[in-house]
Amino acid sequence: MGVTPLRLAVIPGDGVGPEVVEESLRVLQYIDDEDPDVAFTFTLFPWGTDYYLEQGEMMPADGLEILQGFDAILFGAVGSPRVKDHITLRELLLRIRFGFDQYVNLRPIRLLPGVDTPLAGIEPADLDIVFVREATEGEYADIGEWLHAGTEREAVHQTAVFSRVGVERVARWAFEYARREDRRSVTSVSKANALRYSGVLWDDVFDEVASDYPEIETQRLLVDAAAMLLVRDPRRFDVIVASNLYADILTDLGAALMGGMGLAPSANLNPERRHPSMFEPIHGSAPDIQGTGMANPIGSIWSSALMLAHLGLAEWAERVLGAVEATVADRATRTPDLGGSARTSDVGLAVVRNLEVSA
């Protein structure tokens, strides 16, 4: 009797998205070929800017219903100069995040051995932070209005939404993650001194949740202080939980500290598993290097490792991460953003070779 394949939906998207996803699929296909207990089926969906220009929508009206039957989603990137960013982002990536209640956006920020960081005196053990980003409300709730458009009185209202249930569930997930992964502390990031409604609710709920985890150290920081301390003293951080906007910005800073956007992975999780979760590098579509072979696929491959862990394949997840570390430690298999000259496909092949060595 054969193994039931894990069904993976693949949305390469725009720009360099298809190029980095191709290398993730190379790694996943290697696992499928090597392990008799693992099987994948890949279904490609050509949704994105080209689809929008042809069909008038970034994904079909029943796109969520189509994706619901999959075990996970592998996503590349979205965005193009040909379509306004708020259309490409909200009508594809955010539509999936919100529609599938993927309220935990997990973003590891970790310095890999041999990779240069702009921070002086920092070793890999000093920069190992996991961001838990609330991903379905906050500043990205898409509530607002445009008043007196095109006149001198033009104004907009952009409403952020923070609910007790939304803050509580993401904070509790962060503490449960810290407990499960034996991490020592959870830091909450907000701006309660200026935002007396959303910020105060966030802080109050965080404190209530923290009281259920007395063994875990906690701290609360304003977002500007958190940005400063990420640069000055990243050692003080372990797990950070923050709202949609703040964590989005801080993890881009974190990606720069770990060596560049091309390295950084993420997982969009529906923890209750009522819907499939989605895995993507945090970089954008980088249309300026599309088709040049310069794109770094490590963020995408690392995201695939997060997917493997989510799907119960923890051993393979660890092996893929080990192969990623070995690949970026070798300057011969680094892409130009890391000071090398390797092409996108060279990196994917190197990860597979390092997987073979670790067998």
- Which positions ≥6 away from 228 have C-beta within 8 Å? none
CB 245 within 8 A of CB 138: yes
Q: 164 — phi, psi (to 5°)?
A: -60, -45
Owner of token pair 């279904």: 43
Q: What is the CA radius of gyration of the chain?
A: 20
Catalytic site residue from 33, 204, 224, 288: 224
Q: 116 an active-site residue?
A: no
Catalytic site residue from 103, 191, 337, 346: 191
Q: 248 an active-site residue?
A: yes
Cα separation, 9 vs 59, in Å, equals 13
Cα separation, 204 vs 195, in Å, equals 13
Catalytic site residue from 50, 101, 238, 252: 252
Cα separation, 332 vs 274, in Å, equals 43
Structure letter (DSSP) for residue 199: H
SS (H, E, C) 125-182: HHCEEEEEEECCCEEEEEEEEEECCCCCCCEEEEEEECCHHHHHHHHHHHHHHHHHCC
CB 320 within 8 A of CB 27: yes
Cα separation, 305 vs 28, in Å, equals 9
Q: 140 an active-site residue?
A: yes
348: enclosing H helix or E strand? helix 344-358
Catalytic site residue from 14, 32, 248, 337: 248
Question: Token pair for residue 170?
Answer: 């993401």
Catalytic site residue from 51, 52, 140, 246: 140
Active-site amino acid positions:
140, 191, 224, 248, 252
